[in-house]
C-alpha cells in the first residue's frame, strides 16, 4: 500500500541545536530533494544509490539557504519503505523552517502527525504495537521507560502475541476438523488437548494483563505528591530530588502555598512530583486554598511521599496524613535525621509499610528512598524489557481476547456446540490480530497516528 503524495516535515526538535533534519518521503522524494539540493560533487540525487550521503547546498533559486548533507534511501530500504531524502542542515528555528518551506514550494506536501511512521506501518515495515513503541521511545523520560519502549520496538510484544494467535488458530483448525469430519476420517485433536491449549493462552494473556499497571507507571511516570504538615521539609526534599532550588525553603511554617511541579527520575523511574502546601487548619485564605489543593493531589496521586519531622513529636495532623495514606501506595519519610530523634517511629511503622529515614537538608537517604519508591509502586524487580502492554488500546484488545478464550474454554467444558466454541476462538484471535495491527480498522489506525508528533 503506497501513497502517491510525497510528504515533508522537520524531524528534529523545534529549538536551536547543532543539526536540524528535514525529511521527505514518497515517490517523488528524490526528484523534489534534487530540485532544492545542489551536491558539491554535481551528483544527481535522482540517480543516487540508497544509503548515500551527499554534501552540498540547499538552494532557493539563486539564493543559498544553507550548507547541508543530504542522505538518500531507496525504497523499500528506508524507515517508511518509500524513497526518502533526509536533509541535514544547521539546527535552529529559522534555518530548518526555511529549508522545509523550500522543499514544500518544490512540490512536497506537509506531513501529518505521525505520517512517516504510519507509512512504515502501511508498507509492512512495522506492526502497530511496534509503531506505538516508536512514539513511546520518543516520549520516554526515564531509563526504564526507554528500555520498555525499545523492547516493544524490537518486537518482543509482537512476538508473544503472535505465538498466542497461532495457538488460537491451531485450536480453530482443530475444531473445524472435528466439525467437518465427525467420524474420525482424519486424525482429530483430543478435547483435552484443545482445552490445554486454550487454558495456556488464557493464562499467559492474563499474566500479561497483570503487568499493565506496573508498565504504565514505568512508561508514563508516577504522579507523586510530597505531603505533610508545615515545616517538616517537603520543599527541601523537592529541591533535593530535582537537584535545584525549585521550591522556596524557609524556617517559617506555611511557606509553600501553590502546588510546585517537576518531573524527575529516581532509580530509573520517572516521577511527576508535586510539592504542596503544609497540611494544617488555617485562617489565611491563600494558604487555605493551598491546603485544599494538597488534599486533592493526595487523592489523585499514584504515590504519596508523606513527610514527618523526626526532630519533633507526632501531631494530630501527622496522624491524619498517615490515615489518608492507608490503602494507597505511600512512603512515610522521617526527615531531619541529622537532628536528635523525638518522633515515635514505631507508631508510624505500625501503620505504614514503607518507612524511610532521610536528611533532606544533608542529602542523605535518597538511595533508600529510591528502593522504597519502586517497592511501593509495585515495579520492584519488574523487567521493563520483558513484553508488556503499552497502552489502553493494547490492553483492551488483550482483555477481549481473554474473555473470548475463556468463553471457548467453558463452552468446551460444558459441551456447548463446537460451532460456538470455534467462533469464540476465531474472535479471540481477531482481537490479537487487532493488537498487532494485522486486522485493525483504518479509523483505529488513523486515531493512533494522529497522537504522534509531526516529523515522526
Ligand X SMILES: Nc1nc2c(ncn2[C@@H]2O[C@H](COP(=O)(O)OP(=O)(O)OP(=O)(O)O)[C@@H](O)[C@H]2O)c(=O)[nH]1
Interface residues toward Mg ion, by CB under 5 A: 234-235, 255-256
Among 35, 336, 395, 456, binds ligand X (CB under 6 A): 336
For 21, phi and psi rounded to 5 degrees? Answer: -120, 130
Give the per-residue SS3 of the chain: CCCCCCEEEECCCCCCCCEEEEEEECCCHHHHHHHHEEECCCCCHHHCCCCEEEEEEEEECCEEEEEEEEEEECCCCCCCCCCEEEEEEECCHHHHHHHHHHHHHCCCEECCECHHHHHHHHCCCCCHHHHHHHHHHHHCCCHHHHHHHHHHHCCHHHHHHHHHHHHHHHHHHHHHHHHHCCCCCCCCCCHHHHHHHHHHHHHHHHHHHHCHHHHHHHHHCEEEEEECCCCCCHHHHHHHHHCCCCCCCCCCCCCCCCCEEEEEEECCEEEEEEECCCCCCCCCHHHHHHHHHHHHHHHHCCEEEEEEECCCCCCHHHHHHHHHHCCCCEEEEEECCCCCCCCCHHHHHHHCCCEEECECCCCECHHHHHHHHHHHCCCCCCCCCCCCCCCHHHHHHHHHHHHHHHHHHHHHHCCCCHHHHHHHHHHHHHHHHHHHCCCCCHHHHHHHHHCCCECC
Closest CB to ligand X among residues 191, 317? 317
Of the candidate residues 13, 19, 93, 339, the single one contacting ligand X (CB under 6 A) = 339
Q: Name the grid cell of 89.
A: 542542515
State the nearest-atom distance from the C-beta of 288 to ligand X, in Å: 13
- Minimal distance, residue 367 CB to ligand X, in Å: 16
User: Minimum distance from CB of 252 to ligand X (Å)?
Assistant: 7
Q: Which of the listed partners (Mg ion, ligand X, none) does 391 bind, with a CB threshold of 5 to 8 Å by partner kind? A: none
C-beta of 30 vs 298, nearer to ligand X? 298
230 binds, among ligand X, Mg ion, none (CB under 5 to 8 A by kind): ligand X
What does 232 bind: Mg ion, ligand X, none (CB cut-off 5 to 8 Å by kind)? ligand X
- Decide if residue 338 touches ligand X (CB under 6 A): yes
Nearer to ligand X, 103 or 332 (CB): 332
Query: From the list 6, 144, 270, 335, which residue makes contact with ligand X (rule: CB under 6 A)?
Result: 335
Q: Which of 126, 197, 232, 409 binds ligand X (CB under 6 A)?
A: 232
> Residue 214 or 294: which CB sits closer to ligand X?
294
Number of residues engaging ligand X in binding (CB under 6 A) = 24
Cell of 376: 511501593
Q: Toward Mg ion, which CB reaches closer, 95 or 294?
A: 294
Q: Which is nearer to ligand X, 254 or 268 (CB)?
A: 254
Say whether residue 259 binds ligand X (CB under 6 A). no
Q: Write each residue from 352 to 381 as x if it is in contact with ligand X (CB under 6 A), else as -, in one continuous string.
A: -------xxx--------------------
Within residues 275-334, the interface with ligand X by CB under 6 A covers: 277-278
Q: Name which of 147 and 246 has its Cβ closer to Mg ion.
A: 246
Residues 202-231 that bind ligand X (CB under 6 A): 228, 230-231
Q: Is-contact 24 6, C-beta < 8 A?
A: yes
- What's the number of CA atoms in the CB half-sphere (13 Å) around residue 283? 0
3-state secondary structure 256-269: CCCCEEEEEEECCE
Supply 445's cell numbers.
489506525
Q: Binding string to ligand X for residues 117 to 156, with x set by CB under 6 A, is what?
A: ----------------------------------------
Q: Which does 17 bind (CB under 5 to 8 A by kind): ligand X, Mg ion, none?
A: none
Binding of ligand X by 405 (CB under 6 A): no
Nearer to ligand X, 250 or 263 (CB): 250
In this structure, what C-alpha cell is assigned to residue 345?
517511629
Q: Considering beta carbons, is residue 187 or 251 the nearer one to ligand X?
A: 251
- CB of residue 227 to ligand X, shortest distance in Å: 9
Grid coordinates in use for 13? 526538535
Q: Which is nearer to ligand X, 191 or 261 (CB)?
A: 261
- The nearest distance, CB 279 to ligand X, in angstroms, is 8
Q: Which stretch in 164-172, 248-256, 264-272, 385-393 sits in contact with ligand X by CB under 6 A?
A: 248-256
Binding residues for ligand X (CB under 6 A):
228, 230-236, 249-251, 253-256, 277-278, 335-336, 338-339, 359-361
Amino acid at each position: 500500500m503506497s501513497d502517491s503524495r510525497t510528504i515533508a516535515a522537520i524531524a528534529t526538535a523545534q529549538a536551536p541545536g547543532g543539526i536540524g533534519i528535514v525529511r521527505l518521503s514518497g515517490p517523488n522524494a528524490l526528484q523534489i530533494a534534487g530540485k532544492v539540493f545542489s551536491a558539491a560533487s554535481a551528483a544527481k540525487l535522482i540517480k543516487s544509490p540508497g544509503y548515500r550521503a551527499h554534501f552540498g547546498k540547499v538552494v532557493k533559486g539563486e539564493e543559498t539557504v544553507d550548507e547541508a548533507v543530504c542522505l538518500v534511501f531507496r525504497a523499500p530500504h528506508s524507515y517508511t519503505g518509500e524513497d526518502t531524502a533526509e536533509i541535514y542542515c544547521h539546527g535552529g528555528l529559522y534555518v530548518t523552517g526555511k529549508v522545509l518551506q523550500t522543499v514544500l514550494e518544490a512540490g512536497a506536501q506537509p506531513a501529518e502527525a505521525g505520517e512517516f511512521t504510519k507509512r512504515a506501518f502501511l508498507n509492512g515495515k512495522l506492526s502497530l504495537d511496534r509503531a506505538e513503541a516508536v512514539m513511546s521511545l520518543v516520549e520516554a523520560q526515564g531509563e526504564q521507560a526507554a528500555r520498555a519502549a525499545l523492547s516493544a520496538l524490537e518486537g518482543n510484544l509482537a512476538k508473544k502475541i503472535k505465538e498466542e494467535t497461532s495457538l488460537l488458530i491451531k485450536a480453530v483448525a482443530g475444531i473445524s476438523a472435528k466439525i467437518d469430519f465427525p467420524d474420525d476420517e482424519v486424525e482429530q485433536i483430543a478435547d483435552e488437548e484443545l482445552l490445554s491449549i486454550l487454558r495456556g493462552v488464557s493464562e499467559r494473556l492474563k499474566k500479561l494483563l497483570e503487568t499493565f499497571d506496573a508498565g504504565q507507571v514505568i512508561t508514563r511516570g508516577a504522579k507523586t505528591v510530597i505531603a505533610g504538615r508545615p515545616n517538616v521539609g517537603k520543599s527541601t526534599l523537592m529541591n533535593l530530588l530535582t537537584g535545584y532550588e525549585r521550591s522556596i525553603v524557609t524556617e517559617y511554617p506555611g511557606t509553600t502555598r501553590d502546588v510546585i511541579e517537576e518531573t524527575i527520575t529516581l532509580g530509573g523511574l520517572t516521577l511527576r512530583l508535586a510539592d504542596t502546601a503544609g497540611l494544617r487548619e488555617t485562617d489565611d485564605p491563600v494558604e487555605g486554598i493551598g491546603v485544599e489543593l494538597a488534599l486533592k493531589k493526595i487523592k489523585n496521586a499514584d504515590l504519596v511521599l508523606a513527610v514527618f519531622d523526626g526532630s519533633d513529636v507526632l501531631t494530630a495532623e501527622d496522624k491524619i496524613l498517615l490515615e489518608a495514606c492507608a490503602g494507597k501506595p505511600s512512603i512515610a519519610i522521617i526527615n531531619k535525621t541529622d537532628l536528635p530523634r523525638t518522633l515515635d517511629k514505631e507508631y508510624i511503622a505500625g501503620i505504614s509499610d514503607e518507612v524511610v529515614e532521610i536528611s533532606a537538608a544533608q542529602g542523605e537517604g535518597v538511595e533508600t528512598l529510591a528502593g522504597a519508591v519502586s517497592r511501593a509502586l509495585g515495579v520492584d524487580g519488574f523487567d521493563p524489557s520483558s513484553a508488556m502492554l503499552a497502552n489502553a488500546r493494547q490492553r483492551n484488545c488483550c482483555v477481549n481476547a481473554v474473555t473470548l478464550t475463556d468463553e471457548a474454554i467453558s463452552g468446551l467444558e460444558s459441551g456447548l456446540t463446537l460451532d460456538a466454541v470455534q467462533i469464540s476462538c476465531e474472535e479471540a484471535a481477531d482481537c490479537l490480530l487487532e493488537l498487532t495491527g494485522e486486522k485493525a480498522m483504518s479509523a483505529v489506525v488513523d486515531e493512533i497516528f494522529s497522537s504522534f508528533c509531526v516529523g515522526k
